[in-house]
Amino acid sequence: MTQSLQPSSESFDPTEFRKALGTFATGVTIITARAADGTPIGLTANSFNSVSLDPPLVLWSLANNAMSFDAFRNALHWAVHVLGSDQEDLSGRFARRGEDKFSGLDTDEGEGGVPLLRGCAARFQCRTATQYQGGDHLIFIGEVLRFDRDEAAPLVFHGGKYAHATRRDPPDIKPRSAHLAGSFGEDFLGYLLGRSHFRFFAQIRPFLDHEGLDDMEFYVLSTLTLKPLLTEGQIAEGLAGVLDANRQRALDGLVERGFARRTAADGFELTDGGREAAIRLIAAAKAVESQVLERLGTGDAVILKTTLNRLLGVVDESAADVLWQSGEGERKG
Ligand SMILES: Cc1cc2nc3c(=O)[nH]c(=O)nc-3n(C[C@H](O)[C@H](O)[C@H](O)COP(=O)(O)O)c2cc1C
């Protein structure tokens, strides 16, 4: 069954060659199979590609030095899992040599007993049709016996790094440009961020009104959920640059209304009533978020959040890391 493809005799700088190949953006897959002794095997591979629609054929290639090489070469069946944008950790796990990659994972059983992973963008269950020796890799061509797919956004690999794919704007959505030369224009970052924030927040405000809170009181209340006890300085740090002039008034307002109280240790904490109101508001805000992100599409939602986090890192180096990172542990303690 195995045929041989002769490599070119020309030699390249291997690093440059890798870099040049890396300019080709691909999806990321995990290929699984079962070794002759029944052990599940699998590895991350981006060499996957479609070959033929009729008959349905796909291909991928496996390094000759992979620990799973013999098992894959002898396997009659294997499955290709196209990973979704939220499966980077799984990709990392299956790219580590020889580990027990399946430990703790829920799997289904596919054709020929092949372990099938869950939560992927698509799965192709295949039977080996042909193998070609291609230099330092073995190329597998498989006949697709079954497949299934989900609407998940794909994980992308480009230039040796994971990436997300985003759709290009449809032609009818063009950035609106200003009439006056020298004016800000509607593709000004501040306009896009500001308007998005105000329009998004307008959908949450009715829930704040219901609790009798204004925007700043909500921000302070949310900040107080991050840790059991916060000093005034920490609250100021957490909300630095957000309606600074209104902070003290908002804090006093929350205390007056019985949502927060001053503690002996010169800090502030939520009362039971404050915590319950915060939980109600966070649930309502999350529901608004889900609706908005659903309309945007999963892939673009992930990209938007990733990019905004990176933007925050650029414009807000002092971002209140201390508050966000250690809160969970302290609450448990
Ligand atoms: C994004 C990505 C794509 C990869 N593509 C392939 C591939 O197509 N073929 C391959 O043999 N190894 C590929 N690898 C490397 C293997 O996943 C890695 O060597 C793995 O440890 C092999 O498993 P094993 O040695 O336990 O069999 C890739 C790794 C990453 C992170």
Nearest-CA residue for atom 6 of ligand 1: 45
DSSP 20: H
For residue range 244-285, list pLDDT tens digits in order: 788 889 999 999 999 999 998 789 999 999 999 999 999 999
**Given the DSSP bridges, would you call strands 26-27 and 155-158 parallel, antiparallel or unpaired?**
antiparallel
The verdict on the CB of residue 44 being under 6 Å from ligand 1 is yes
Please tell me whether residues 97 and 226 are part of one structural domain.
Answer: no
> How many domains are contained in the chain?
2
For residue range 52-70, list pLDDT tens digits in order: 999 999 999 999 999 999 9
31 within a domain of the structure (yes/no): yes
238 within a domain of the structure (yes/no): yes
CB 169 within 8 A of CB 300: no
Backbone angles phi, psi at 58, to 5 degrees: -135, 165
The verdict on the CB of residue 95 being under 6 Å from ligand 1 is yes
Q: Whole-angstrom Cα distance, residue 139 to residue 242? A: 57
28 CA → ligand 1 middle, Å: 10
CATH code assigned at 160 = 2.30.110.10
Residues spanned by the domain of 51: 2-9+18-164
69 within a domain of the structure (yes/no): yes
Residue with token string 């499966």:
87
For residue range 69-106, list pLDDT tens digits in order: 999 999 999 999 999 988 999 999 999 997 789 999 99
Within 34-114, residue ranges assigned H as helices are: 69-74, 88-94
Nearest-CA residue for atom 13 of ligand 1: 45
Q: Which of the residues in the chain have pLDDT under 70?
A: 1-10, 168-185, 318-333
CA-based R_g, the chain, Å: 27
Backbone angles phi, psi at 76, to 5 degrees: -85, -30
